[in-house]
Amino acid sequence: MMMRDLIESKLKAAFEPVFLDVVDESYRHNVPAGSESHFKVVLVSDCFTGERFLNRHRMIYGTLADELATKIHALALHTYTLKEWEGLQDTLLTSPACRGAGTLA
């Protein structure tokens, strides 16, 4: 199973998201071709209601603990309640540039 698919499957099971987008951004980083190590996750779930962003991230880290310990190097998280998400529909969610991208020798 591809890492992106595994992440998506685990997050769907744990959070029953209203919206979920898992993007493999490894190609934007200084990693060998074909690496699956850098991801961006946009997750909208009622599970986040009343939770601060730090705790939301901890919830996801717990769900993906095995992958974070072995395969995932970077995980950009964008976590929202449905109400927060509805207010962001016109906002572009981008990940920061990686230092040294494209300089792999």
pLDDT digits (tens, 9 = 90+) for 55-104: 999 999 999 999 999 988 889 999 999 999 988 766 655 555 666 555 44
Exposure string over 53-76, b if 16+ CB within 10 A, otherwise e? eeebeebbeebbeebeeeebebbe
Provide the β-strand partners of residue 30.
none
Q: Is the pTM value of this prediction over 0.85?
A: no
